[in-house]
Amino acid sequence: MKRTIAAVVMMLAVFGATFAQMEQHISWKFSTKNLGDNKVELICEASIDDGWHVYSSELPEGTAVPTNIELEQSTAYKGIEGIIEEPKPTAHYDETFEAELKWFEKKATFKKVVQLTQEGDVTIKGYIESMICNDQTCMPPEMVDFELKVSSTAPVTAEVATTEAGEEEEESYWAIFLLAFGGGLAALLTPCVFPMIPMTVSFFTKTSSTKAAGIRNGIQYGISIIVIYLILGVAVSAIFGASALNELSTNVWFNLFFALLLVVFAVSFFGAFEIVMPSSWVNFATKGEEKGGFIGTFFMAFTLALVSFSCTGPIVGALLVKAATGGYMGPIVGMLGFSSALALPFAFFAAFPGYLNSLPKSGGWLNSVKVILGFLELAFAFKFLSVADMTMGWHILEREVFIAIWVAIFGAMGFYLLGKIRLPHDSPMEYVPVSRFVFALAVFGFTIYMLPGIWGAPVNLISGMPPSKDYSESPFGVGYQAPVSSGGGSAHVEMPEGMHYGPQGIPAFDDYDKALAYSKKVNKPILLDFTGKGCTNCRKMEDKVWSNTNVKKLLTEDYILVSLYVDIRKKLDEPYISELTGKKIRTVGQKWAEFQMERYQQQGQPYYVIIDENETTLNTPVAYDPDIKKYQNWLEDGIQKYKNR
């Protein structure tokens, strides 16, 4: 009896220690809100421990695991396509992933719209997948199930947590405003707009009875320009709404459409053809000018917007897409910034017409500005194509191809600036102005900087534009050979089934059972590498520690490396219920995360364990520690323990 009680106490102690290690650091609350038209908003509210953060639903590919809401298939409901609606996250540049990652601290609310397709009571089932990290480690991605009852005939009400945007939203709006303001300044230097400045201001000063009247008319003209573009921003937000606007950055078909649109505008800027508004629209606006007063001034501004569309349209379109990330207010703030820059010189020169003489004369340089904008439009078109390509997994526009295209585009821009390339509407150029020459040098410098990126260089200046290194033909760079031989050179090794070149070109398995079987065959210890695709510290260990010659040699020649990724989303053939947590295990990543927790009572990555072919742990496992010598000593100790068994 005493032995039985002791055994029970021991089991409780073991399970207590196990569950004590299962640090949650995040809790979820689920609710719904009726939106009408048989649409329900699914609301997932996260409470996050101090010092920890949960990632946004939008992250660059090949980095951390984004938060995602997944619904179980049902005939009673379906999820509305598009990304999850969320508050504005904080952004942090991560040197390891060479990308900007976004996350939330303390609290966050994620929402998804669900369309009910069946009358009566409906039970919505699914799960939210998230990954949380602190400055030292990351927890494996966790899938938390939810089950919510709603009705397609009666209103569904629930208290919805509101997230304060505060300073983060203000910073975002300021960024959108300044970007749009810069776009407005660029539009001023196009041949559609620049010549209108002296013409319009001269008209106001000549037709005004007094200087004060001229100033008043000029200011009214500037305000009218702002109002017209604000109406455009409000219309875009009202028609599409915040959720649909956010979809623009990730929707495959929209990215393809906008890439094609930018190519068309770029070709137009190069001089192949002219894009103009219908003449009936322009005539209507011109007739409105005859009414005089503020209405006449407003129609003059409206005429400017229509006539200059061929130059301003591509810039406005690109700004609206960028501004869409700011939610409902994004396009409004963006158009306020763009129109303010556009209206500023008209109001200023109307007030101080004497300064008109200081403006440079119209000429061929205006067309050059337009052509340069065409090069930029063409470059950004491939960014939109890249998003579509990565989303669909086509592998057509991989990193090397993308950078090569950008090198070609900016190289051509440099030759154009030097006058080596002439396009249809360019004026003859006897010599290269100093300002143009300096600009060409800067463009060539940028082009040469990008060149090594084709062969695997990081090219951090354009980080976030090209696809990640994982999405490339040669993830380790052109000419890379692995693994290292005992002599320090490189040699190719015939690898068994299931083994591949892993981090730093070290042969590795990603399946535990295959690694175990191979270990028994070759009599070598196994290094279990619990890692994650989105684990920053894992990449730091691989880049800074595993790249060391001695460490690399040990891992290649003396160990069987098996990398178990806890955030792989590949679905298991047969999901199962975890005996440890009672949760449904759906993916390969969840399987390895549970294996780590069950076997070693640990959740964080990276986590390294040395075992023999009998699955016996040979020495004390270690976690993240960038000390190369310490890690090398730990590996050598494992080999010695393996030999002394």
For the record, the structure tokens of 544 come out as 């800074």
How high is the pLDDT of residue 473? 78
pLDDT value at 123 more than 60: yes
Which ranges in 418-502 belong to alpha helices (H)? 434-450
How high is the pLDDT of residue 545? 87
Q: Which residues of 606-639 are buried (b: 16+ CB within 10 A; e: fewer)?
A: bbbbbbbbeeeebbebeebeeeeeebbebbeebb
Task: State which H helix or E strand residue 143 sits in.
Answer: strand 142-151
CA dist 16 and 13 (Å) reads 5
How high is the pLDDT of residue 243? 43
| Percent of the chain with pLDDT strictly greater than 70 | 67
* Residue with the larger pLDDT of the pair 30 and 317: 30
Band of pLDDT at residue 308, cut at 50, 70 and 90:
low
Question: Worst-scoring range by mean pLDDT, 113-117, 441-445, 461-465, 526-530?
Answer: 461-465
Q: Are 220 and 56 in contact (CB under 8 A)?
A: no
Q: Residue 333: what are its φ and ψ, rounded to 5°?
A: -65, -40
How high is the pLDDT of residue 605? 80
* Residue with the larger pLDDT of the pair 70 and 505: 70
**Is the torsion defined by CA of 461, 465, 468, 471 positive or negative?**
negative
Mean pLDDT, all residues of the chain = 74
How high is the pLDDT of residue 112? 87
CA dist 554 and 538 (Å) reads 18
How high is the pLDDT of residue 163? 35
| Percent of the chain with pLDDT strictly greater than 90 | 10
pTM above 0.75, yes or no: no
Which single residue is written with the structure tokens 């379906």? Answer: 78
As a whole number, mean pLDDT of residues 441-455 equals: 93
How high is the pLDDT of residue 237? 61
| Domain 23-164, classified CATH 2.60.40.1250, yes or no | yes
Q: Are 334 and 176 in contact (CB under 8 A)?
A: yes
* Residue with the larger pLDDT of the pair 137 and 150: 150
Task: State which H helix or E strand residue 310 sits in.
Answer: helix 309-323
How high is the pLDDT of residue 343? 80
Who contacts 126 (Cβ-Cβ below 8 Å, separation ≥6)?
69, 70, 71, 72, 145, 146
pLDDT value at 275 more than 70: no
* Residue with the larger pLDDT of the pair 308 and 367: 367
- CATH architecture of the domain 499-643 equals 3-Layer(aba) Sandwich (3.40)
As a whole number, mean pLDDT of residues 45-70 equals: 84
Task: State which H helix or E strand residue 237 sits in.
Answer: helix 211-247
How high is the pLDDT of residue 160? 36
* Residue with the larger pLDDT of the pair 7 and 312: 312
> What angle is formed at CA 93 by the lines to CA 88 and CA 98, rounded to 5 degrees?
125
238-242, 437-441, 512-516 — which one is most confidently predicted on average?
Answer: 437-441
Laid out side by side, the sheet with 77-79 consists of 26-36, 39-48, 107-116, 77-79
* Residue with the larger pLDDT of the pair 406 and 221: 406
Q: pLDDT tens digits for 360-375?
A: 655 566 678 778 878 8
Q: pLDDT tens digits for 217-229?
A: 777 777 888 888 7
154-168, 268-282, 306-320, 334-348 — which one is most confidently predicted on average?
Answer: 334-348
Beta strands in 548-621 (DSSP E): 560-565, 571-577, 584-587, 607-611
How high is the pLDDT of residue 393? 65
What distances in angstroms separate CA 156 from CA 35, 442, 463, one per listed residue? 8, 59, 44
pLDDT value at 134 more than 90: no
How high is the pLDDT of residue 89? 81
* Residue with the larger pLDDT of the pair 388 and 621: 621
32-41, 134-143, 359-368, 407-416 — which one is most confidently predicted on average?
Answer: 407-416
Q: Are 292 and 205 in contact (CB under 8 A)?
A: no
As a whole number, mean pLDDT of residues 620-624 equals: 86
CA dist 321 and 313 (Å) reads 12
How high is the pLDDT of residue 352? 67
For the record, the structure tokens of 451 come out as 């060149």
How high is the pLDDT of residue 10? 37
Q: pLDDT tens digits for 471-493?
A: 677 765 665 554 444 334 344 45
How high is the pLDDT of residue 406? 94
* Residue with the larger pLDDT of the pair 531 and 243: 531
Band of pLDDT at residue 242, cut at 50, 70 and 90:
very low
16-20, 322-326, 637-641 — which one is most confidently predicted on average?
Answer: 637-641
Question: Worst-scoring range by mean pLDDT, 230-234, 356-360, 451-455?
Answer: 356-360
pLDDT value at 523 more than 80: yes
How high is the pLDDT of residue 440? 93
Band of pLDDT at residue 159, cut at 50, 70 and 90:
very low
Q: Are 63 and 471 in contact (CB under 8 A)?
A: no
As a whole number, mean pLDDT of residues 163-179 equals: 58
DSSP 6-46: HHHHHHHHHHHHHHHH----EEEEEEEEEEETTEEEEEEEE
Question: Worst-scoring range by mean pLDDT, 4-18, 41-55, 226-240, 365-379?
Answer: 4-18
Q: Are 447 and 414 in contact (CB under 8 A)?
A: yes
In the chain, DSSP finds a helix count (H) and a strand count (E) of 17, 18
For the record, the structure tokens of 396 come out as 């057509």
How high is the pLDDT of residue 355? 63
CA dist 191 and 615 (Å) reads 74
* Residue with the larger pLDDT of the pair 469 and 70: 70
As a whole number, mean pLDDT of residues 129-148 equals: 82
**Residue 203's Cα: distance from chain center in Å?**
47
Name the residue ranges covered by the structural domains of the chain.
23-164, 169-363, 398-479, 499-643
pLDDT value at 66 more than 60: yes
Who contacts 558 (Cβ-Cβ below 8 Å, separation ≥6)?
524, 525, 635, 639
Q: Are 156 and 40 in contact (CB under 8 A)?
A: yes
